[in-house]
Structures are given as structure tokens and as C-alpha cells.
Amino acid sequence: MPAIREYVYRRIDVETYEEFKRAHSSGIILDFISFPQTELGKLTRDAKADVTGGRQALLIWAYLATYERNPETDDRYAVMELFRLGFLHHDPEALYVLAIFYMTGCGVRFAPDVACGLFHQAASAGLGTAWYQLGVCYFHGIGTAQSCEQARDCFQRARCVGDADADGYIAMIDLLSHQDEKSLTGAFQALVAAQERGSSLAASILSEIRAQQRSGNCASEIFLAHYLSEVFYRRGTGF
């Protein structure tokens, strides 16, 4: 089994497939949420054409496919290769990507319960980043029973590999779990700190708090943070 690296989702500028490969080799998985679809398609084609790229080319294609959400018919072989790597060779990164496939219905049937199990296998096999996705499953009850306690444990593990959004979730769980002013103040300060460390989740909550206050909501920041955390918890989310 190849050496396990911890991966970090970052939005960085990449224009070529070779640049993507270098980023992937260093442990960075790019965030393509705002990436132009035409360029994403080109990178996908380049990954498919990389016949000497082996495991890395396959996994890069898989990451790209989770954003395109429409693998072509001739991609079935690549999906089967992911299964071979994941289940026959216990490759944690392949298990992780397969979990995202099942969570999004990309290339396979939509099955959140299967995805949750695969995230757990990937995490247990040593890919600490998978603990974050497993925490999201527990927090929102996606593919498993909803549990803040189990979610917090998963996010604590993800925090150890530097996942800033794990800090944001931990702060939200603490806002939900406490009632006394001192604990709530500490949880809110942790939310602010998570934003400063780069948590997009914490940033979106704090942005909504400011929007609420601008619209005339006179509640305290801590109360609004508690309220929005509960809304987020009850609403659930997708991948």
C-alpha cells in the first residue's frame, strides 16, 4: 500500500494537469467549487489520457469526477479500478473517493449509508482527512444516526491533521451543547478563531450573524451563533 498522506482542501490557482499532479503529490486536494467548468473538463481529459500516471492519475480523475458529477460511459473502467484499489489493496484514498461517489451518486448509486461506512474505513486505515467527512455524516445524520457526541470525536481527529472546518464544527457543537454564558462565550470565541484559521464554515456563520444584525436583529452575537448552529444542525446538508 502506498504511503498515506494527509490531504488539505485548498483553493489555489492551477492551470495545467502537471500543476495539479504536483499539488496532489504534496498533499493538496484542490477545491473546484468555483473552477470554470471548461477548464475542469480539460483537466479531466488530461487525467484520463495519462496512461503512465497509474494510481495518481486515476485518483486525480476521481476527484475531478466528483465535481463534474457526470462520468461518461467509458469511465466505468476507472470506477472499477477505484474499487480494486480500495477493496483489494485497502487503499485509504481510493476508499475516501469512493465514499464521495456514493454520497453524490457520481458514477454509482446514491447511497449515503455506504458512503458513511467507506469514510470510516478510510479514516481507520490512516487517512485522517476522512474523519472530517465522517463527522459531517454524524452531525447531520447523513447515512447514519445523528449524534453530536460522535461528530465531535470525529472532528477532533480531523483537527489533528489541520482541518480548519473541523474547528468550525466543534465550535458549533459546543454552542449547541452548553447553556451557561461562560461556555457559550468560549464556544463563540472558538468560532471566530476557526474563521481566522481559514474555516469557510465559520466564516459563513459569522457572515450571517452580521447580516442578521444589519437587518435589525438586536440579539447578541452569541445568541445568534447558537441559533444559527441549531438551524444548521436541524437542516442537514449535502456534499
pLDDT digits (tens, 9 = 90+) for 158-171: 988 778 889 999 99
Give residue 138's pLDDT band: very low, low, confident or very high (50, 70, 90).
Answer: very high
Query: Do 163 and 84 lie in a common domain?
Result: no
Of 97, 132, 165, the one marking the end of a domain is: 97
Could you list the residue range(s) of the whole structural domain that residue 29 is in?
A: 1-97
**Mean pLDDT value of segment 56-85:** 77
Number of domains the chain is built from: 2
Give residue 239's pLDDT band: very low, low, confident or very high (50, 70, 90).
Answer: very low
Instruction: Please indicate, yes or no, if residue 188 is contained in any of the structural domains.
Output: yes
Q: Tell me 66's DSSP state.
A: H
Q: What is the pLDDT of residues 187-209, one digit of tens each?
A: 999 999 999 988 888 999 999 99
Query: Do 90 and 162 lie in a common domain?
Result: no
Instruction: Please indicate, yes or no, if residue 122 is contained in any of the structural domains.
Output: no
pLDDT the model gives residue 145 = 94
With a CB cutoff of 8 Å and minimum separation 6, the contacts of 25 are 56
Of 50, 68, 97, the one marking the end of a domain is: 97
Query: Do 166 and 92 lie in a common domain?
Result: no
Query: Do 233 and 162 lie in a common domain?
Result: yes
3-state secondary structure (DSSP) of residue 10: strand
Query: Do 3 and 93 lie in a common domain?
Result: yes
Instruction: Please indicate, yes or no, if residue 150 is contained in any of the structural domains.
Output: no
Give residue 37's pLDDT band: very low, low, confident or very high (50, 70, 90).
Answer: low
Give residue 41's pLDDT band: very low, low, confident or very high (50, 70, 90).
Answer: confident
Write down the H helix ranges in the chain: 17-25, 37-49, 54-68, 76-83, 92-104, 112-124, 129-140, 148-159, 164-177, 181-196, 200-214, 221-235
pLDDT the model gives residue 237 = 53
Give residue 128's pLDDT band: very low, low, confident or very high (50, 70, 90).
Answer: confident
Query: Do 83 and 13 lie in a common domain?
Result: yes
**Mean pLDDT value of segment 106-120:** 92
pLDDT the model gives residue 134 = 95
pLDDT the model gives residue 29 = 66
The structure's pTM equals 0.81
Query: Do 86 and 173 lie in a common domain?
Result: no
**Mean pLDDT value of segment 144-164:** 91
**Mean pLDDT value of segment 209-224:** 88
Residue 74 has pLDDT above 70, yes or no: no
Instruction: Please indicate, yes or no, if residue 111 is contained in any of the structural domains.
Output: no
Query: Do 79 and 168 lie in a common domain?
Result: no
pLDDT the model gives residue 8 = 65
The Cβ-side half-sphere exposure at 55, using a 13 Å CA radius, reads 16
CA distance 34 to 23: 18
Query: Do 87 and 163 lie in a common domain?
Result: no
Q: Are 14 and 30 in contact (CB under 8 A)?
A: yes
| Poorest-pLDDT segment among 12-21, 47-56, 115-124, 129-138 | 12-21
* Closest to 56 in 3D by CA, of 36, 15, 27: 27
Instruction: Please indicate, yes or no, if residue 117 is contained in any of the structural domains.
Output: no
Q: Which conformational region is residue 42 in: left (phi greater than 0), alpha (psi within -120 to 50 degrees), or beta?
A: alpha
Of 97, 117, 146, the one marking the end of a domain is: 97
CA distance 164 to 157: 12
Query: Do 172 and 88 lie in a common domain?
Result: no
Query: Do 174 and 90 lie in a common domain?
Result: no
Q: What is the pLDDT of residues 17-32, one digit of tens each?
A: 888 888 888 776 665 5
